[in-house]
């Protein structure tokens, strides 16, 4: 079994040294800072695209707006990328697994350190999630560690889902080798990694939920170099139809409407400017908190890649204490992935390995307020409260 290790660069500061002044009740005069404040394209930016929908008279079933959006999404991923959109990332993960024709009831390896959607999608696809632990540095599955634990599997394994934690894309070379070596299908749950996904040598699912860096409300897409799999998933989002009215396979309806496509088009127009804004705010956070040894940002966040969440790792056990302290200062925060999927009642019967790293991350990570037009003063307010908790600053 993998030995428990703390993140190397993580805080030497232990949770008990957080010095919290007694602040109850909440400091009265403060306006609450929410943890997120999604900002989709404005009505003005949408107008030309909505007018185009009016003119086409085509409202769903892969009309010109959705096809145009898919082309733009594929172009970002370089030559050879195929993209199909769908109602959300959860549904697309399910359909991708189903499209692979995996043995019903077989195991799908998943990290417990993920949003519950990953495990829900596996069960909806007729597979059984097998929760395994993640790497302490990246918070993602590691191919070598998983390889070494395959002999502990409680049954036959058909698939594995590697998750990009809070938008941080794992390196995919090792996973391609893992798939080739083991015959286990690998798909990437890159729900929050719109910015980080640069190529798709493995089937990769990205969310377009309103809370994501590029949001359209509800939606998602599958990107992959293998057009045959993408085309099969596309059929599965559309009753199993392909060219005629015969259902070629058991399928569902998970299409996006042309109106969702219009929002996606306007969101993509805005993306270069949005990305700069997200990055600038991430840099402010890094500058404001970088001097605290007890606060660790995700590797490369705000430098090489960006997402719509700011998740920091504190000391073991510190996330609850810090969340309470921030709340007393009128600042919301969130433990985005709770205690890990294996702790949810829905998955209590699912097999799992020992999960010490997941448990550590659950107790040490915290999502801080982060949104597109967050002001420098907002960030400074969060940083001051955190410095205060560590016995410095205000
Ligand atoms: C890791 C992960 N997987 C899947 C999802 C589900 O995405 P959607 O809301 O598009 O279904 C999310 C949503 O936040 C997520 O974080």
What's the structural domain count of the chain? 2
Give the pLDDT confidence score for residue 27 in this predicted structure: 52
Gyration radius of the chain's alpha carbons? 22
The reply to whether 121 and 98 lie within a common domain is yes
CA distance 274 to 372: 7
Phi-psi region of 82 (alpha: psi -120 to 50; beta: other; left: phi over 0): beta
Give the pLDDT confidence score for residue 30 in this predicted structure: 66
The mean per-residue pLDDT over the stretch 369-384 comes to 97
The mean per-residue pLDDT over the stretch 84-103 comes to 98
Give the pLDDT confidence score for residue 11 in this predicted structure: 35
pLDDT tens profile 2-37: 332 333 333 333 333 444 444 444 454 568 999 999
pLDDT tens profile 29-38: 568 999 999 9
Above 50 in pLDDT, residue 280? yes
CA distance 353 to 362: 16
**Is residue 2 in a domain?**
no
The reply to whether 312 and 247 lie within a common domain is no
CATH at 84: 3.40.640.10
**Is residue 394 in a domain?**
no
The reply to whether 355 and 292 lie within a common domain is yes
The mean per-residue pLDDT over the stretch 95-119 comes to 98
From the CB of 85, is ligand 1 less than 6 Å away?
no
pLDDT tens profile 300-341: 999 999 999 999 999 999 999 999 999 999 999 999 999 999
**Is residue 308 in a domain?**
yes
* Domain end (from 216, 250, 265): 265
The reply to whether 259 and 294 lie within a common domain is no
Give the pLDDT confidence score for residue 198 in this predicted structure: 95
From the CB of 318, is ligand 1 less than 6 Å away?
no
Q: Are 189 and 162 in contact (CB under 8 A)?
A: yes
Above 60 in pLDDT, residue 105? yes
CATH at 286: 3.90.1150.10
* Domain end (from 206, 237, 265): 265
CA distance 365 to 378: 20
Above 60 in pLDDT, residue 116? yes
CA distance 182 to 184: 5
Q: How far is the CA of 132 from the centre of ligand 1 (A)?
A: 19
* Domain end (from 265, 297, 327): 265
Give me the domain span that covers residue 116: 43-265
pLDDT tens profile 152-178: 999 999 999 999 999 999 999 999 999
Mutational pocket test of ligand 1: of 85, 90, 164, the residue with most ligand atoms within 8 Å of the beta carbon: 90
């Amino acid at each position: 079994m993998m030995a428990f290790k703390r993140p190397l660069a993580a805080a030497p500061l232990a949770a008990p040294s957080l010095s919290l002044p007694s602040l109850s009740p909440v400091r009265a005069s403060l306006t609450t800072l929410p943890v997120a404040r999604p900002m989709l394209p404005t009505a003005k930016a949408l107008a030309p695209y909505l007018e185009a929908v009016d003119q086409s008279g085509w409202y769903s079933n892969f009309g010109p707006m959705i096809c145009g959006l898919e082309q733009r999404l594929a172009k970002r991923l370089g030559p050879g990328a195929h993209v199909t959109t769908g109602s959300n990332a959860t549904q697309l993960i399910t359909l991708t697994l189903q499209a692979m024709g995996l043995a019903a009831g077989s195991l799908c390896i998943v990290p417990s350190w993920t949003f519950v959607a990953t495990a829900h999608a596996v069960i909806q696809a007729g597979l059984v999630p097998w929760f395994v632990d993640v790497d302490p540095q990246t918070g993602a599955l590691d191919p070598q560690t998983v390889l070494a634990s395959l002999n502990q599997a409680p049954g036959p394994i058909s698939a594995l889902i590697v998750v990009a934690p809070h938008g941080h894309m794992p390196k995919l070379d090792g996973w391609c080798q893992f798939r080739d070596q083991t015959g286990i299908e690998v798909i990437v749950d890159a729900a929050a990694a719109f910015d980080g996904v640069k190529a798709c040598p493995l089937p990769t699912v990205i969310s377009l939920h309103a809370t994501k860096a590029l949001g359209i409300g509800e939606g998602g897409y599958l990107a992959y170099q293998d057009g045959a799999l993408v085309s099969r998933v596309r059929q599965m989002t559309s009753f199993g139809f392909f060219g005629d009215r015969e259902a070629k396979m058991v399928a569902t309806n998970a299409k996006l409407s042309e109106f969702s496509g219009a929002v996606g088009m306007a969101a993509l127009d805005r993306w270069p400017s949005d990305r700069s804004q997200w990055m600038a705010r991430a840099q402010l956070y890094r500058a404001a908190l970088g001097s605290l040894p007890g606060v660790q940002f995700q590797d490369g966040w705000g430098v090489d890649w960006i997402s719509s969440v700011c998740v920091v790792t504190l000391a073991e056990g510190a996330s609850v204490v810090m969340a309470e302290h921030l709340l007393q200062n009128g600042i919301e925060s969130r433990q985005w992935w709770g205690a890990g999927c294996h702790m949810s009642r829905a998955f209590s019967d699912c097999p799992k390995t020992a999960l010490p790293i997941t448990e550590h991350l659950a107790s040490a990570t915290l999502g801080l307020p982060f949104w597109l037009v967050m002001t420098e003063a907002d960030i400074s307010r969060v940083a001051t409260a955190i410095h205060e908790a560590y016995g410095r600053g205000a």
